[in-house]
Amino acid sequence: MALLSATADLPSRLVSPTIRRLPNGLTVIAEQMPLEVVNLSLWLRVGSAVESDAINGMAHFLEHMIFKGTQQLQCGEFERRVEERGAFTNAATSQDYTKYYITTAPQDFVALAPLQIQMVMAPRLSDDDFERERPVILEEIRRADDNPRRRTYARTMELVFDRLPYRRPVLGPTAVVENLTPAQMRTFHGTWYQPQSMTAVAVGNLPVETLIATVAEGFERAMAQRTALDAADLMERFKPLMPGDLESPFAEVRRAVHHDAALAQARLVMAWRVPGVAQLDDTYGLDIVASILGRGLTSRLVRDLREDRKLVTGISCSNMTLAHQGVFMVSAQLPPENLAVVEAAIAQHIATIMAEPVSTAELRRVQTQVANRFIFANETPSDRAGLYGYYHTLTGDIADGLNYPTYIQKLGVEEVLQAAQSYLSSQAYGVVALQPAA
């Protein structure tokens, strides 16, 4: 079977990746880059969002178990080989994806990359390893619960989403993780860890054909080592969301107040339901609004509430773009007695940015920042692999990431105003307040 291959038609002279789809369905993105390092990142569109409530936390637990070895590699052998060559490996799980990556010297890539692929695609997943790792996962959940920033985020997601799986923690709740089984994990891995649902990105100082061949051969060998999936043990699969499944904007102020004995200062989060990656074109104006309101010392909220009026000790704004739906958030750390006045002040800033076009100077500042951050954030093979992997996994097209500065540069003040008016409100939003216990 012929391989499908193309050099991406991209506007930037900074990049020239080759994209190739292998007969087994795996997409490989490869680029030679003149730095003496190679990064291989394996991306799956598998995160906590694909889990049922009964197995919430499985994707993250599996990420840990991947490193417990294969039938050919004993637990710890992969890390030993990586470390003795001065290489580095790690992984991460989110709501929408899981990624595994290794960074190595070019001369070591052919030796180490197939081992990483073997670990991901043909892990041992033994009962004994599973039970030894479960307390580690439970401790990680406990530490997350003890972290004020993560508690605030969890409370916010629970308030913002009523139905979508983004309301659940990536790590899963203790009560669920305590009851997960090795058989469930083996089924989860066999169901979701398939080449056709993966993107392998290899960037560094080796010829593109060497990068692609190494990845292709590694997958062929790893897939030959897998055991067949037990069809009788298939779990409930996550059903792809349709537009009608998205949650409507808030119709009024929805408020949640929590008392937190660990806090010395209060936390305030105001949130709006906004478009996600599924409606990518609608997100760019909101990205600009978030930067104008709360990114940098000259942003409106920082200048007004922190620098001038000193009502908060910290404040920021972000437009979090998840696969199906996003969250526009303003987050502040402040004395508890200032909660009401700060909420009112933020609402007034939202009202203002919905009523009056931003200044040309503010827009140009953000556009310059975006263009420069893009250049600075894509200087290394790891950076470049992350960009390609993220966008190909979530949108199917790396041009969405590479063209991001161009999209931002094209927006005018009227389009930014339209974005604010379409998705924000000064009278309808979610608000989470965490107060120090009395």
What 3 state SS string does 203-238 have?
EECCCHHHHHHHHHHHHHHHHHCCCCCCHHHCCCCC
| Residue 235 pLDDT grade (very low, low, confident, very high; cuts 50, 70, 90) | very low
Q: Is 244 exposed, middle or buried (0-12, 13-18, 19+ CB in 10 A)?
A: exposed
Read off the pLDDT of each residue in 245-272 and give the average, rounded to a whole number.
Answer: 93
Q: What is the largest CA-CA distance in the chain?
A: 69
For 370-402, the pLDDT digits (tens) are 888 888 888 899 999 999 999 999 999 999 999
Q: What is the pLDDT of residue 241?
A: 58
Long-range pairs, 214-217, Cβ under 8 A, ≥24: 214/109, 214/110, 214/113, 214/114, 215/26, 215/28, 215/30, 215/40, 215/113, 215/117, 216/22, 216/26, 216/28, 217/114
For 43-75, the pLDDT digits (tens) are 999 999 999 999 999 999 999 999 999 999 999
For 75-117, the pLDDT digits (tens) are 999 999 999 999 999 999 999 999 999 999 999 999 999 999 9
6 CB-side CA count, 13 A: 8
Q: What is the pLDDT of residue 15?
A: 65
For 19-32, the pLDDT digits (tens) are 999 999 999 999 99
Asked if 203 and 33 count as a contact pair (C-beta separation under 8 A), the reply is yes
The whole-angstrom separation of Cα 70 and Cα 119 is 6
Q: What is the pLDDT of residue 236?
A: 44
Read off the pLDDT of each residue in 242-266 and give the average, rounded to a whole number.
Answer: 88
| Residue 262 pLDDT grade (very low, low, confident, very high; cuts 50, 70, 90) | confident
Q: What is the pLDDT of residue 4?
A: 46
Asked if 271 and 290 count as a contact pair (C-beta separation under 8 A), the reply is no
Q: Which amino acid is at 63?
A: E
Read off the pLDDT of each residue in 409-433 and give the average, rounded to a whole number.
Answer: 96
Q: What is the DSSP letter of 322?
A: -
